[in-house]
Structure 1
Amino acid sequence: MAPVFAHGQLRLYLLSLLNEGPRHGYEIMRDLEQRFNGLYTPSAGTVYPRLAKLEEEGLVSRSDDGRKATYTITAAGRDEVARRQLDLGDLQSDLDRSASQLAEEVRSRVKGEAADLRAELKAAAREARRVARPAGEPMSGRAGSEFERQINELRSSARKLVRSRRTSEAVRAEALRIVREAQQRIDDLS
């Protein structure tokens, strides 16, 4: 995955967010996630060290509210944001470009995963048709055990894909559509 921020850009982005008003670290992470339409979520290990550095530089101040820390931009931080308005414009353009690249990477990955899943489900449907038996006829022998094996493989593959944290909602929806289509085609055989 391509880097989201170039060198020094996250620092400037954090200052610009805090220039809009005080925020908790978690709120900053959520703002960044929303900025990238959920395609990028910074870790606490990315955000908090940079906030601490900004605090050391006197550009933000931190106040503790129980378990949460609130970060507020200082006058020196506002001065830097004002001086770097041109850089902020460039930063917004760069972030738009980064968001587009992330979206394209996700689209490509989803397209590939969906194509793989479609191929697996089509193969399973072909195999199911190959070993199909007339309704009411008991399954026995090699065909019966092969059918059961294929059904179990399909079930396992589909569940594994859908339960994976790396699987996007688009792929899950496509998997469900394919399973429903396979079910309809099997229903049409009877």
Structure 2
Amino acid sequence: MSPVFAHGQLRLYLLSLLEEGPRHGYEIMRDLEQRFNGLYTPSAGTVYPRLAKLEEEGLVSRGDDGRKVTYTITDAGRAEVARRQSDLGDLEDDLDRSVSQLAEDVRSRVKGDAADLRAELKAAAQEARRVAKPASGGYTSRGQASGEFEAAINELRQSARKLVRSRHTSDTVRTAALRIVHEAQRQIDQLK
């Protein structure tokens, strides 16, 4: 994934946010997350060092109300924002492109994850059918058939759970996995 902000853009964006009014660091991170529709959340390690640098440059001031640190733009910071208005317009265009690219990356990952899940479940179902023997014969014992069936079910369960429990799996993929499991259940019910 490409960087969300090009060199120097986060600095300018922070100044433009503070021009709207004083903010706590957490509020700045939340505002950035909202600007990116939740697709990007900056870390404290990204935001606070840049705020400290802006403070060193005299573009923002830092106030401590005892519980939280509040950042406020200075006159020098306002002058910088005014001087760079054309850059701000370009920045907004770049951010719009970044949001679109992040959304496309998410769509691609979800589509790929769902396709991978379908392929894994299809392969597990094919394997289960391949090793399954008719109930009327072919097995030396009912226990062997039951054991192979349980192994196939457990393999499917483990694959599905691994995918669904992964922190990288989106809600869309989880929903797709559930649909696939329900479809498998429906097909099994038709065998009755």
Distance, in Å, in 2 between the alignment partners of 1:132 and 1:20 is 71
| Partner residue, 1:152 | 154
3-state SS of 2:61 partner? strand
Counterpart CA distance in 2 for 1:104 and 1:77 is 35
**Corresponding residue for residue 12 of structure 2:** 12
Q: TM-score, normalised by structure 2?
A: 0.89
Q: Does the CA contact (< 8 Å) of 1:121 and 1:182 recur in 2?
A: no
Deviation at 1:132, TM superposition (A): 7.2
Show the counterpart of 1:116. Answer: 116
Say which of 174, 177, 190 aligns to 1:175.
177
Partner of 2:186: 184
Say which SS state the counterpart of residue 122 (structure 1) adopts: helix
Look up the match of 1:53. Answer: 53
Residue 63 of structure 2 aligns to a residue whose secondary structure is strand
User: For the residues of structure 1 that align with 2:66 and 2:133, how far apart are their CA atoms?
Assistant: 65
| Structure 1 gap ranges (5+) | none
> CA separation in 1, counterparts of 2:144 and 2:110?
36
- What's the CA shift for 1:163? 1.3
1:97-136 mapped onto 2 (5 Å cutoff):
97-129=97-129, 131=132
Q: Which has the higher contact order (CA 8 A, sep 6+)?
A: 1
SS at match of 2:64: strand
Q: Which residue of 1 aligns with 2:79?
A: 79
Other structure's SS at 2:70 match: strand
Return 156-165 or 123-132, whichever deviates more: 123-132
CA 1:122–1:58 in 2, change beyond 3 Å: closer, same or farther? Answer: same
Query: Structure 2, unaligned stretches of length 5 or more?
Result: 136-140
Q: How many angstroms does 1:124 deviate by?
A: 2.5
Three-state SS of the structure 2 residue aligned to 1:5 is: coil
SS across alignment from 2:46:
helix
User: Are the aligned partners of 1:114 and 1:171 in contact in 2 as well (CA < 8 Å)?
Assistant: yes
Query: Which position in structure 1 is the counterpart of 2:2?
Result: 2
Q: How large is the Cα RMSD of the aligned pairs?
A: 1.8
Structure with the greater alpha carbon radius of gyration: 2
TM-score (norm 1): 0.90
Shift of 1:153: 1.2
In the TM superposition, what whole-angstrom CA distance separates every residue of 1:8-43 from its partner, at most 9, and x where no partner exists?
Answer: 000001111111111111111111111112211111
- How many Å separate the matches in 1 of 2:72 and 2:175? 42
SS in 1 for 2:38: coil
- AA in 2 matched with 1:69: V
C-alpha distance in structure 2 between counterparts of 1:187 and 1:79, whole Å: 71
Question: Does the Cα contact within 8 Å between 1:19 and 1:78 map onto a contact in 2?
Answer: yes
Change (3 A) 1:71 1:144: same
**Could you tell me the percent identity over the aligned residues?**
81
Match of 1:169, as an amino acid? D
Q: Letter of the aligned partner of 1:58 in structure 2?
A: G
